[in-house]
């Protein structure tokens, strides 16, 4: 009997060891996650007010990542002869950069998420010149970019409004360039535009939309790639390619913006009446100046005040940095030596869904399209 019991215990220990060996990376990430929660739970900088809202213009909302709140606020500033600073993709689509716009026609360039580090250049100097000239300025960027601007200016300006976005982390621009060139070679064309968050089918199940001008036939072709199968998005969402500072983001502890915007993930559970599948924004009001802008510019928005806890429940990146993967350094070593095809195979193998899951997703997407057409939107 003792022999049988000893053998059984040995069997259990061996199997537990095998499970740990097979899943050690996941376990390490989990331990890191728990440590992050324990260390950063008390750094939350609560705003004055929190809202769920979206722009009533469905076309504008469709061209935006979430609820198109940025467009409403930016239009208000532009109507006051102000200047809006934000990020757009470069003409060759190989990089992202800050630009200033002074009329509504430029808003299309600034709408939508850009998942790579943007070039700041001399933007801070230009903002200072406009502020000193008395111009109303709306500056939009990540929390660290807003903090960088405020530290550069060295003083408060009544005519400056800063708005940041809740940021998961900033991917490497070098990786994006490699990816873009890989896609061009693969599709035999030139990348003309990129939409990181195309939601023609769904806000939650967004896809990458790439428009490529084919070289042989000189025709524009559109490619729609699921975020689960796109190699760049897979590397980004697994946190391999972020800046070192993103894993210990100080901008989550020191908030210098007047208001913060983001996707309101989990809105279907918090306020179902604010979820029509087209995208809902989360808005965090941090200062009296931010509140004044929001109150002045919300005429074309549907909105509902919610608690801070409900607002960030599905968006912990508001107060918590992502966990640095144990393979992060190795990833960048491989990026310098491997062809993108090899890097992709090692770090971004596509998710293989079952036939049942693929069919269910297709049916849901088709139903959403039908409902939108019935609702008068094509």
Mapping DSSP to helix (H, G, I), strand (E, B) and coil, where does residue 196 land? Answer: strand
Mapping DSSP to helix (H, G, I), strand (E, B) and coil, where does residue 205 land? Answer: coil
347, 331 Cβ separation under 8 angstroms: yes
148, 103 Cβ separation under 8 angstroms: no
What is the rounded CA–CA span in Å between residue 38 and residue 35?
A: 5
Those residues whose C-beta lies under 8 Å from the C-beta of residue 225, and which sit 6 or more positions away, are: 207, 208, 210
Helices vs strands, H then E, count in the chain: 15, 12
349, 228 Cβ separation under 8 angstroms: no
Please give the mean pLDDT across all residues of the chain.
86
Residue 306 has pLDDT above 50, yes or no: yes
> What pLDDT was estimated at residue 206?
87
pLDDT tens digits, residue range 338-372?
999 999 999 997 655 455 555 565 666 566 556 55
pLDDT tens digits, residue range 186-209?
999 999 999 999 988 888 888 999
Residue 161 has pLDDT above 80, yes or no: yes
pLDDT tens digits, residue range 173-184?
999 999 999 999
> What pLDDT was estimated at residue 1?
53
> What pLDDT was estimated at residue 28?
42
> What pLDDT was estimated at residue 37?
40
């Amino acid at each position: 009997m003792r022999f049988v019991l000893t053998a059984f215990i040995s069997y259990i220990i061996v199997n537990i060891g095998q499970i740990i060996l097979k899943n050690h990376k996941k376990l390490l990430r989990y331990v890191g996650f728990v440590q992050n929660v324990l260390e950063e739970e008390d750094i939350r900088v609560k705003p004055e007010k929190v809202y769920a809202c979206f722009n009533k213009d469905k076309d504008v909302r469709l061209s935006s990542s979430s609820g198109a709140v940025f467009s409403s606020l930016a239009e208000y500033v532009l109507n006051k002869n102000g200047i809006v600073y934000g990020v757009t993709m470069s003409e060759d689509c190989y990089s992202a950069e800050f630009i200033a716009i002074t009329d509504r026609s430029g808003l299309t360039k600034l709408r939508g998420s850009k998942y790579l580090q943007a070039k700041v250049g001399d933007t801070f100097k230009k903002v200072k010149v406009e502020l000193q000239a008395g111009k109303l300025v709306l500056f939009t960027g990540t929390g660290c970019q807003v903090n960088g601007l405020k530290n550069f200016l060295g003083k408060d300006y009544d005519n400056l409004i800063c708005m940041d976005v809740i940021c998961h982390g900033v991917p490497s621009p070098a990786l994006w360039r490699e990816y873009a060139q890989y896609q061009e070679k693969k599709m035999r064309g030139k990348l003309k535009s990129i939409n990181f968050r195309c939601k023609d089918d769904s806000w939650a199940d967004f896809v990458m939309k790439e428009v490529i001008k084919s070289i042989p036939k000189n025709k524009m072709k559109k490619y729609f790639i699921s975020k689960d199968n796109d190699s760049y998005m897979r590397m980004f969402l697994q946190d391999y390619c972020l800046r070192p500072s993103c894993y210990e983001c100080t901008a989550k502890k020191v908030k210098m913006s007047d208001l913060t915007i983001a996707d309101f993930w989990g809105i279907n559970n918090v306020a179902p009446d604010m979820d029509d599948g087209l995208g809902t924004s989360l808005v965090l009001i941090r200062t009296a100046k931010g509140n004044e802008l929001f109150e002045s510019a919300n005429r074309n928005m549907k909105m509902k005040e919610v608690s801070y806890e409900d607002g960030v429940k599905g968006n912990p990146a508001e107060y918590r940095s992502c966990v640095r993967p144990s393979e992060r350094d190795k990833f960048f070593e491989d990026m310098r030596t491997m062809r993108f095809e090899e890097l992709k195979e090692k770090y971004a193998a596509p998710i293989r869904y079952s036939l049942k899951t693929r069919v269910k997703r297709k049916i849901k997407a088709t139903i959403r399209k039908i409902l939108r057409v019935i609702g008068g939107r094509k």
